[in-house]
Homo-oligomer: A and B are copies of this chain.
Amino acid sequence: MTLVLEEFLPYRFNRLAETLSKNASKAYQSEYGLTRPEWRAFALLGQKGTMTATGISHFSTMHKTKVSRAIYALEQKRWLVREVDEGDRRMARITLTAQGKKAYDRLVPMMQRMEKEMISRLGSENSKALFKGLAALEALYLEPENGK
């Protein structure tokens, strides 16, 4: 009995995830020097507005230490500010600065173009199948609150 690695689903996902991410990272990596965790936290802040570190951690499925370090780096870049919540002083409300928003508005269209390009290269039938399959997997394996 032999297992064919290139047909093994977890491996296929890892390989594709790595390839797609590497491809996507070109923009935020070279233009803005962001790491992947930084990009994720940043994208989430741009999408949702003010958040706490725990919120970012939850929605981005990154460990809180990773988030903590990403936030620190973005703060050094002056792309976000934190403000201790006076109602509960354990947490801080994190918001993009004007400078951060400007970068977001420049970066996001690039990322979206890239994604559109990829999907169009796939063709509508294949991409439809892909989305269907991904959605089904996510429904099975991801906590329901994620991505909501």
Contact present for B1 and A141 (CB under 8 Å): no
Counting every copy of the chain, the complex holds 2
By secondary structure, the A interface counts as helix
Contact of A10 among B21, B109, B141 (CB under 8 A): B21
Q: Which residues from 1 to 29 on chain A have a C-beta closer than 8 Å to any C-beta of chain B?
A: 1-21, 23-24
Given contacts A6-B147, A115-B9, A131-B133, contact A141 B40 (CB under 8 A): no
Contact present for B16 and A138 (CB under 8 Å): yes
User: Which residues of the partner chain B approach A46 to less than 8 Å between Cβ atoms?
Assistant: 2-3
Complex: how many Å from CA A6 to CA B59? 8
User: Which residues of the partner chain B approach A136 to less than 8 Å between Cβ atoms?
Assistant: 122-123, 126-127, 129-130
- Which residues on A are within 8 Å of B, measured CB to CB? 1-21, 23-24, 40, 43-44, 46-47, 59-61, 105, 108-109, 111-112, 115, 118-119, 121-123, 126-134, 136-138, 140-142, 146-148
